[in-house]
Amino acid sequence: MPSEELIADHVLEFPGGYTRTTGPVIGRFLTELRDGRIVGVRTAGGRTLVPPLEYDPDTGEAVTGEFAEVGPAGTVESWAWVSEPRKGHPLERPFAWALIRLDGADTALVHAVDAGDARAMRPGLRVRPRWRAERTGHITDIESFVPEVTRIVSPVRAEYRVKPGKSLARFLEGVERGIFLGCRCGSCGKVYVPYRLSCPECGVAITEEVELPDTGTITTFAINNLPDPRAPQVPFVSAYILLDGSDIPMIALVGDIPAHEVRQGMRVRAVWVPEEERTASMSNIRWFAPTGEPDAEL
Amino acid sequence: MGNRCAVIGVGQTHYTTKRRDVSIAGLVREAAVRALEDAGLTWKDIDAVVIGKAPDLFEGVMMPEAYLADALGAAGKPMMRVHTAGSVGGSTALVGASLIQGGVHDRVLVVAFEKQSESNATWALSTHLPFSASLVVGAGGYFAPHIREYMRRSGAPDHIGTLVAVKDRLNALKNPYAHLRIPQISREMVESTPMLWEPIRYLETCPSSDGACAMVLSSEKAVTGTPAWVLGTAMRSEPIFRAGRDTVNPQGGKDCAADVYRQAGIADPRRDIDVAEVYVPFSWYEPMWLENLGFAAEGEGWKLTESGATALDGDIPWNASGGVLSSNPIGASGLIRFAEAALQVRGMAGEHQVDGARRALGHAYGGGAQFFAMWMVGSDKP
């Protein structure tokens, strides 16, 4: 038997934490942070370093004593996404470590960006600091950076009570009984379906009601490959169907036949739902199906 | 036709899938500022503003013209909105022109837009009210059966739609504002894309675009820079449900064309017009409108397309800009046709300029091919 492995937990932590003397440059930066401002320091060459350094890394010279407020907004230059944050990380949810160049700065600052989703991150993303309410003069006085507001969701919803109107109500009464109601214009003699109260050509009132058969001819059609809640499957055929005795086609589904076998001129008949399921609605007609008659001349 | 009217400024945004960097106001402003710059004018030189926009439900902003007045410098000026479905861009230009032709104003800013990325047009066009007795699925679902009927009547071979889809996208490569830019576009590529609403393939349809277009229209005495003279204007409409309506070759379109040709003195459109910008959102509408607009006899339009006559180097280039098939901010699409016609006769169309273009047709249609708006513009004062 191998002996049990010897394992022990150990913590190395300087009691109370180390103290650091900031020096005047870093001290100014942290003091401004505590007040909710971000400053950079100018180099002799005129660059603004954020976060400030005490000595110009380009020349080795001391930086000037001149400080400039930058940001608070900045632009993401590059980032690494942290999908599983660890204990010491600034956020408990996934976030990005990012190089952020604050407006007015010549160098980038490393900080966390709380973007919600890695897909929200991109070079050029504009971000702003989210400050802690209680600040102590530490880089974590900025809890994280967050993207600027560029888009809002604007819910629009209108609720209506809809009445079908006299003519459509009359038509739907017919549909409830399994009949297509149309009408004949007294002026031009054209037969319209659905039933309507005036002629769109002549502008006169229509008074003569006509009962039309539920058979007709497909004049033309589309094979739809995009799904629609009113169609049972994809592809589905929406067709212009000229009911026998009517002068205007209506648009309806065609079924009981593969989509690519539908033809212009094909003779069809309405397929009604069983009588006990009928309501005053077009859903009474499941679709139109081929009658098997020879095609009509168009 | 009233007093003389000219286009003296054209401004367009780049058309693209998503303009996330600007609001709707910022978008229309961008086009308007460019039109003013083109005309060498400022906001204070404008007397009135006319805005065109497709249905409010597209972006869900009700009466957007009220909110856009500030962005278009319209405070204290007459401002109105036009809406005639897909033809609205064209109607907007014509309403603006009528304010000049009627002697009401000297300079009118017309602008039209759509921000399709903030909505879904197919949803907005298919809201399915209760009790409805009709089944239509978006614009493609509506127009596909009429294209099928055109193919049956004319006997046009299947590949004609493909030719238009390729031709307009090749033109788009020469237009810096165009949305769809597909350098490797080919018949094989178009034919390899799926049927959405058969007989319409994916690449035979227009894209969904964000964008705005603007023009400055002027009376004769207020002209600045290079004018495109308005030679004729016409609008027609017809009821969508009317027994005997010809949905393939609508009477409204024929009447509208006849009216605008009469005003402009066009006897034979193919001979007398140098370039046409025609509303072709589905590729098959090129041969259909070639016939409707009198460029070819009935049943013969597809032969013109097949012969290459409508290509940029053909005898009657159609949609040198790439057309609606390449850029479709719906409300603006008609105005873009009218503006591109003006750019051509001003000689300012850049790489897609048709050499020596002196007379150009701008065309738009909308609804169930029931609203029509057209104008003729020319380089010579009428």
Domain end (from A77, A112, A147): A147
Nearest CB to A164: which of B131, B148, B197? B131
pLDDT in tens, B202-240: 999 999 999 999 999 999 999 999 999 999 999 999 998
Task: Retrieve residue A293's tokens.
Answer: 């008659």
- Together in a domain, A139 and A171: no
Domain end (from A92, A119, A147): A147
Residue with tokens 């505590």: A34
Tell me if B159 sits within 8 A of A246, measured CB to CB: no
Q: Which residue has the higher pLDDT, B261 or A44?
A: B261
Tell me if B338 sits within 8 A of B365, measured CB to CB: no
Contact A238/B141, CB-based, under 8 Å?
A: yes
In this prediction, residues B255-280 reach a mean pLDDT of 98
- Together in a domain, A236 and A175: yes
Which residues does chain B have within 8 Å of residue A191's beta carbon, measured at their own beta carbons? 243
Which residues does chain A have within 8 Å of residue B131's beta carbon, measured at their own beta carbons? 162, 164, 168-169, 172, 281-282
The percent of residues in chain B predicted with pLDDT above 70, rounded, is 98
Contact B196/A235, CB-based, under 8 Å?
A: no
Q: Is residue A211 part of a domain?
A: yes
Q: Is residue A297 part of a domain?
A: no
The percent of residues in chain B predicted with pLDDT above 90, rounded, is 87
In this prediction, residues A77-89 reach a mean pLDDT of 95
pLDDT in tens, B187-212: 999 999 999 999 999 999 999 999 99
Could you tell me which chain A residue has the CA closest to the CA of B247?
Answer: A220
- Together in a domain, A169 and A286: yes
- Together in a domain, A138 and A109: yes
Distance from CA of A237 to the nearest CA of B (A): 9
Q: Is residue A2 part of a domain?
A: no
DSSP letter assigned to residue B212 = E
Q: Is residue A55 part of a domain?
A: yes
Which residues does chain B have within 8 Å of residue A298's beta carbon, measured at their own beta carbons? 152
Q: How far apart are CA B301 and CA B283, in angstroms?
A: 13
- Together in a domain, A248 and A215: yes
Q: Give the domain extent around A140.
A: 23-147
Which residues make Cβ contacts (< 8 Å) with residue B215, sequence separation at least 6?
B7, B9, B10, B11, B35, B93, B96, B109, B110, B111, B335, B338, B339, B342
Q: How far apart are CA B52 and CA B325, in angstroms?
A: 20
The percent of residues in chain A predicted with pLDDT above 90, rounded, is 76
What does the radius of gyration of chain A's CA atoms come to, in whole angstroms?
A: 38
Task: Give the CATH number of domain B5-120+208-222; options: 3.40.50.1370, 3.40.1180.10, 3.40.47.10, 3.30.70.260.
Answer: 3.40.47.10
- pLDDT for B136 equals 64
Cα-based distances in Å from B19 to A126, A150, B55, B126: 16, 11, 20, 25
Q: Is residue A159 part of a domain?
A: no
Task: Retrieve residue B308's tokens.
Answer: 């290459």
SS3 content of chain B, % helix, strand, coil (to 5): 40, 20, 40
Domain end (from A147, A175, A194): A147
Task: Retrieve residue B5's tokens.
Answer: 């009217």
Q: How far apart are CA B335 and CA A122, in angstroms?
A: 35
Distance from CA of A206 to the nearest CA of B (A): 14
- Together in a domain, A139 and A52: yes
pLDDT in tens, A214-243: 999 999 999 999 887 777 788 999 999 999
Task: Retrieve residue B152's tokens.
Answer: 């049956």
Angle subtended at Cα B130 by Cα B124 and Cα B131, rounded to the nearest 5 degrees? 125
Tell me the pTM. 0.87
Residue with tokens 């003069």: A137
Distance from CA of B246 to the nearest CA of A (A): 11
* Mean of per-residue pLDDT scores for chain A: 92
Contact A230/B135, CB-based, under 8 Å?
A: yes
ipTM of predicted assembly, 2 dp:
0.91
Cα-based distances in Å from A276 to A26, A148, A253, B133, B328: 84, 59, 22, 21, 48
- Together in a domain, A178 and A235: yes
Q: Is residue A154 part of a domain?
A: no
Domain count, chain A: 2
| Total residues belonging to chain A | 298
Which residues does chain A have within 8 Å of residue B129's beta carbon, measured at their own beta carbons? 162
